[in-house]
Amino acid sequence: MTTLMQDAADETRKQMELVCRFEKSRPITQNSDMFISSKEEHMINFLYDRTQVHEHNLRASFTIQDPVTRRRRYISHEQLSQNAFWNQVMSDLTAQGIPVTNPKQLARLQPRDEYETEIHLISAVLAYFEIASMRVIEVMPMIFEVVYLDGFEEGLRRRLTEKLKLMDKGKGREICERYTTENDEMQERVRSLTEKQRVLMEAKHALRSQG
């Protein structure tokens, strides 16, 4: 039994190491939509945070153009947190064909950040890490079930079949019948217990009907 468990554990460890080797190789993913979406989200967060760091006063670096006067007006982070003002900002941008669903997306309207290349690289790494992490988290439980549990079960089945000689060409059928057929004494005991159970159930029903 211990040997069977150890064999299953060794094979499971090999499969886990194989998954880890996959992630040590060059980045590969077919989930391009999630990768692009996640990378864009990280970039927006970084760019937005940098506008906060470089904001020297309440006149934030965020600006929009009034669709009527064509004049630029400044938007402070305090104003962005106010629902009424945010609704107006969203309306202004939508009127200009720029749909915005998150105030942080306004960071994209600013001049190119001097570290945008670095931010792009970091965002791509983080996005891929998220995908790789989910891949490992999903695969590992499958390995435990299929390789370890199922592997142990299959090994135990083979070992019992071999040790009990269930597939022996000469006595295999006789051995199987001996293991699956109850002797006369056991059959009589089962019949006796079944009859006692029937009597007890009838007595229980009768008592309940009297109550």
pLDDT tens for residues 17-27? 999 888 888 88
In a domain, 181, yes or no: no
25-39, 62-76, 190-204: the lowest-pLDDT one: 62-76
Q: d(Cα 49, Cα 51) in Å, to the nearest integer?
A: 5
Q: In Å, what is the CA distance from 93 to each residue of 62, 74, 102, 179? A: 13, 14, 12, 80
Q: What count of other Cβ atoms lies within 10 Å of the Cβ of residue 169?
A: 7
Residue, of 46 and 163, whose pLDDT is higher: 46
In a domain, 90, yes or no: no
Q: d(Cα 182, Cα 160) in Å, to the nearest integer?
A: 20
Q: Does the pTM of the predicted model rise above 0.75?
A: no
Instruction: For residue 124, give its domain range.
Output: 2-61+110-148
Tokens 């989200």 belong to which residue? Answer: 41
Q: How many domains does the chain have?
A: 1
pLDDT band at 55 (very low <50, low <70, confident <90, very high): very low
Contacts of 174 (CB under 8 A, 6+ apart): none
For the record, the structure tokens of 67 come out as 């669709």
